Amino acid sequence: KRRRGGEERKRKRGGRRRRRKRRKRRKRRKRRKRRRRRRKRRRRRKKRRKRKKRKRRKKRKRRRKRRKRRKRKKRKEEEEEEEEEEEEEEEEEEEEEEEEEEEEEEEEEEEEEEEEEEEEEEEEEEEEEEGQEKPAK
């Protein structure tokens, strides 16, 4: 019988062996296809997982950094507050010391004034005594 383009060819009958071969080939192809698809899917899944992991790690890193920054900022503020408090305390102590010094100076001045007054009184008494002794002579 004539087929395609005038070639003379005997019509191939679908024998059992050929059918089996064809089936095997088909099965092999299907298997390969399935494997390829599975591999692709696995690879995609793996990549997605990796990406997710990386993303998670990045987020964690960022969060940790933010937390550290916040902690550092907080600590810095606390230290500044402590320094301010210490400075205020020092200022108060200095003021107290100055007040004490002023009080001591005032006391010293008062003592000096008292001493001067006593000396003046003594001189006056001596003059009076001398004045009384003169007429007795």
Q: Residue 6: pLDDT above 80?
A: no
- Which residues 6+ apart lie within 8 Å of 3 measured at CB? 9, 11
What three-state secondary structure class fits 13?
coil
pTM of the model: 0.39
Q: What are 80-99's pLDDT values in tens digits?
A: 999 999 999 999 999 999 99
**Which helix (H) or strand (E) element contains residue 7?**
strand 7-8
Q: What does residue 65 show for φ and ψ, rounded to 5 degrees?
A: -60, -45
| 109, 117 contact by CB (below 8 A) | no
DSSP 1: -
